[in-house]
Amino acid sequence: MISVYRGMAAAVCLAALAGCSADSLITGGELVRPGEPTGTLTVINGAGGNIDVVTISECSASTYGFDRLPEDIVIGPGQSHSFTVSAGCWDVDAGAFGVGEARQRLDVAAGGITEYTVTD
């Protein structure tokens, strides 16, 4: 009888998770959410080496998600790369494999440009 209750409890938990976007909790969510105003998030490399990974996630996500830089793109010293995102709160993590990373929580205004400069 106890195993029946455990099975029912597991089914209820899975149904609850399916109702929320568990995928966005892992991937960081879509950068542009349909129907929402957007702004620009610009990552500026003020460090001495290349930035080859930029993860951007909704502040409510449980991870920083996946690399958002286009394939074969790096941000060299003194260069920048911009992303269009929905207005609101975003966690940004930028860095280089095997070197280090920098994290920042940013608010992007609708129609605005928010800059994040990564330094050594």
Q: Which domains does the chain have, with CATH numbers?
A: 2-118 (2.60.40.10)
- What are the backbone angles phi and psi of residue 29, rounded to the nearest 5°? 90, 165
pLDDT given at position 109: 98
pLDDT given at position 100: 86
pLDDT given at position 23: 58
pLDDT given at position 4: 34
* pLDDT-above-70 percentage for the chain: 78
pLDDT given at position 22: 57
pLDDT given at position 85: 98
In the chain, which residues have pLDDT < 50?
A: 1-20
> What are the C-alpha distances in Å from 60 to residues 64, 87, 89, 91, 92?
10, 14, 9, 9, 13
